[in-house]
Chain A
Amino acid sequence: MNIGKYEFSDELYYDKNHGWALVEGNTVTQGVSEFAQKISKEIVYVEVPRVGRTVEQGKTFMSMESGKWVGRIAAMVSGKIVEANEELEWDVAPINEDPFGEGWLAKIEASDLGELDNLFQASDAEFQAFIESEIEKYKDILEEA
């Protein structure tokens, strides 16, 4: 579904840090939303997290840079990183051009899928209200884009 002009797939989970998560069995693939990419303008660098690293829901586990802005990406579930999109270290184009697809960041083997209850889906009224307030907050940047 769309919130404003921005696509938010119904099958994904979201958080208020503009991350998205795709749950496939016990593996959660994480990325940043199209909306996030638009407000950060062009992302120029992504820190690829180390495979094997343990992460905690809500805690920063990687960073990215966009011009002089630095963004922190929080893990959407707790668990262990089993795969990282290492291509992004050499070429960040996928995260700018296909944030929901080729621009995925990391795959986490979740230790507790119950934590998904702490996340949102596109149809959640609270999430829609949040995105609409973010659209208003960043309207100058979004208009430039």
Chain B
Amino acid sequence: MITAHPLFVLFFIAGAIAFFIGIALRFSLYWRARPDWRAFIKGVASNLFSVKIWPLIQVVVLDAFLQRKLFRQDKLRWLMKVLIMVGYPSIIITGHLKVEVMPQFEGFSHLLKFFYAPFVDSYFFRDVATPSLGVRDALFGFLFDLFGAMILTAEFIAIYRRFVARANPFRSSMGDIVAVNLLGGWFILRFICEATAILTYSLPASVARYWFVSFALSKIIAPLGLPWSSLNYPLWSLAGLFLGTLVGSIPYNDKLWHILTIPFVMFINLMPQEAFQPGIKEAPLPLSLKDLIALDSCVKCGSCVEVCPVYAQSKELESTAGGLYKDFRSFVRKTYGLPGMLFHSNRTAEKMPKGLSDNAYLCTLCSRCREVCPSLINTRDLRVSTREFMVETGCSPQWVGRLGDSVTTSYNISGDNNEDRLIWSENLERIPEGVKGKEKAEVVFFVGCVPSFYPQVYRVPQSMVRIMEWAEVDFATLGGKEWCCGFPLIVAGVGKSVQELASHNVGAVRKMGAKRLVTACPSCFHTWKVDYPRIIGEPLGFEVRHSTELLADLISDGKVRLGQFPHLVTYHDPCDLGRSSGIYDPPRRIIQAIPGVTLIEMAQNRENALCCGGGGDLEMVDSDLVSAIAARKIQMALDTGAEIIVTACPQCKRTLMSAARQEKARMRVLDIVELVARIMEE
């Protein structure tokens, strides 16, 4: 019979109170980014009551519990995470199941049982009457120690990795050290407490052996001959203090807090963007709730650093995802959280730390970090949101404003007269019908700014129209009516300026009566397919395809036949086509359909492909950095022994061509459309 609450339970309760105060503080910042609740609830429902529930379940099992991303990167770290992800919830559930069936807690409210659950064994050991246990109690005992052992093993791996192997490129903060020690320290104490209790109550081996870790520990410490019965209660109280401190620290410690945010990150990744539109007209914080939760989920584990092409050249941690989020999060909390609200420190531009804005733009948006982030953060979206924040607060670099003005007035990225959009066609011996003057067509070929205005890649649209004409595709271009898709503005953080571009372009295609839009530019493709329906607020009414998808179909349907091409080629996966749009196979099918060709994959390909350096507007920030990244890619291609790099992106082609020239590499760079046009049998 429990007549008074022991100290260990009181410590836990105190910790819980601190926890809720901390939650309120955290939520004071989240509240400032509260969404429109109707849109939010609709977004939640769209996840739960649709086919999206299946990918969500897969993510929960494969990524949250089984940590498949980590398995590919680092087996020891994977083991550590899986032990925690399985061990912690399991021991909590086991404790709560046991407290429900123990007679000592009969009559307790569920709330009170919650606070006693971690300490059930202190009562079980005290009151166990028989020298043998039933199956249920034996199982509980065994599982407690099994899950506890898993967590402790994870703790030792964490200590080894962080302090011995120094596997994390980010320095450990005090918060990191506290979190690691609290998470594991509570369990070390718990085992000691159980061992002490075994000795205090002289439990027979037939009972104690199920708590196999504590039992072994009791055997080790028994010869010390300490006054176990006097130590029992103080030790449990110390354990309670540790647990109370652990729980109370969760909202104040980024490493602990992310344990709570990760389930939400998984969920919100699948919700539509519109679900997070601001709920108040003049949102005080130019970030969404989704952004804040994602920011809070980063624990600077360093996975992003290992794969970052910018970091590989610059060695500056501050521009990696983890480095940027650490600094940005700290700034956002100080400026917009409770201190900001209390001391009116909303003077963002003045308070922006030096270099933070520049670091936000030192990224190609290749999304390699998103592929490996164990916290499942959509790092690409968060980087763009960070840039939008810089723009909204007037802290973005000057070139962003100039880019926005240029594109929204000249409707292209090169500043040319937009009526000259067909300049790429002027060197053609014969201009196919469909390139200009056609008012209706089944397929609109959206050329894109880079192939339209940058001569290094004129051959891409030249080849595309030749192929479509040969295959009798009923196509047309928009000519001077084609405006920039807006991708450079979206990724620069000026997405709000794209509305007019999107409306115009969609209207122009609809006026053509087209059933399909095809583009050879992956960035345009992604913008049309993913961003435009969101921006215009309705489905497009026509299909959007990348050139590789169309060409793969034309080849497999026999409408385009390919001649011999006995060369060794390798394929570069453009980031906006591969990782961002999931298109890996159509280009490979095309290459493998070419008679005589041998395709050799680069060491890192598909989801792991190394960026060429040409994306994310990085060229506007640091062209030398772009060249350095591209040079690395060229070397990777050279290592395959291939004579030719084939890609499916005009911007990648430009970037790689420049790098091949600079590196004096004996390697040609071709867009896959050019290759097909070159060898198709006419």
Contact = CB atoms under 8 A, between A and B. Distances in A.
Interface of A: 44-47, 49-50, 52-53, 60-65, 67-68, 70, 72
A47 B619 contact: no
Interface in B462-477: none
B39 to A, nearest CB: 39
Contact of B455 (A52, A53, A63, A68): A63
Nearest to B415: A70
Contact of B427 (A45, A49, A64, A72): A49
Contacts of A47: 427, 455, 458
Contacts of B427: 47, 49-50, 53, 62
A49 B420 CA distance: 17
Contacts of A70: 414, 416, 453-455
Contacts of B619: 68
Nearest to A46: B455
Interface of B: 414, 416, 420, 423, 426-429, 453-456, 458, 619-620, 623, 654, 657-658, 661
A45 B426 contact: no
Contacts of A49: 427
Given A47-B458, A65-B454, 14 more contacts: A45-B455, A47-B455, A50-B427, A53-B426, A53-B427, A60-B420, A60-B423, A61-B426, A63-B423, A65-B456, A67-B623, A68-B623, A70-B454, A72-B423
B493 to A, nearest CB: 19
Nearest to A70: B414
A65 B426 CA distance: 17
19 contacts: A44-B456, A44-B658, A45-B455, A45-B657, A47-B455, A49-B427, A52-B429, A60-B423, A63-B453, A63-B454, A63-B458, A64-B455, A65-B454, A65-B455, A68-B620, A70-B416, A70-B454, A70-B455, A72-B416
Contacts of B620: 68
What is the predominant secondary structure among interface residues of chain A facing chain B?
A: strand
Contacts of A63: 423, 453-455, 458
A45 B620 CA distance: 19
A47 B426 CA distance: 11
Nearest to B456: A45
A66 B427 CA distance: 20
A101 B596 CA distance: 42
A62 B456 CA distance: 11
Contacts of B453: 63, 70
B590 to A, nearest CB: 25
A75 B464 CA distance: 27
Which among B414, B416, B427, B458 has the greatest number of chain A C-beta atoms within 10 A? Answer: B427
A10 B477 CA distance: 46
A50 B416 CA distance: 22
A76 B620 CA distance: 32
A67 B423 CA distance: 19
Nearest to A81: B427
A64 B456 CA distance: 8
Contacts of A62: 427, 455
A68 B620 CA distance: 8
Nearest to A67: B623
Contacts of A52: 429
What 6 A-B pairs are tightest by C-beta distance, nearest first? A47-B455, A63-B455, A45-B456, A50-B427, A70-B414, A68-B619
A22 to B, nearest CB: 23
Nearest to A61: B426
A65 B619 CA distance: 14
A101 B414 CA distance: 29
B418 to A, nearest CB: 14
Nearest to A53: B427
A61 B455 CA distance: 12
Contacts of B426: 53, 61
Nearest to A59: B426
Contacts of A61: 426
Nearest to A55: B426
Contacts of A60: 420, 423
Contacts of B414: 70
A70 B416 CA distance: 9
A28 B429 CA distance: 22
Contacts of B654: 65
B445 to A, nearest CB: 20
A52 B661 CA distance: 29
A63 B414 CA distance: 12
Given A45-B657, A68-B620, A50 B455 contact: no
B435 to A, nearest CB: 15
Nearest to A84: B427
A102 to B, nearest CB: 18
A65 to B, nearest CB: 6
Nearest to A52: B429
Contacts of A67: 623
A61 B472 CA distance: 29
A60 B426 CA distance: 10
A30 to B, nearest CB: 16
A47 B427 CA distance: 9
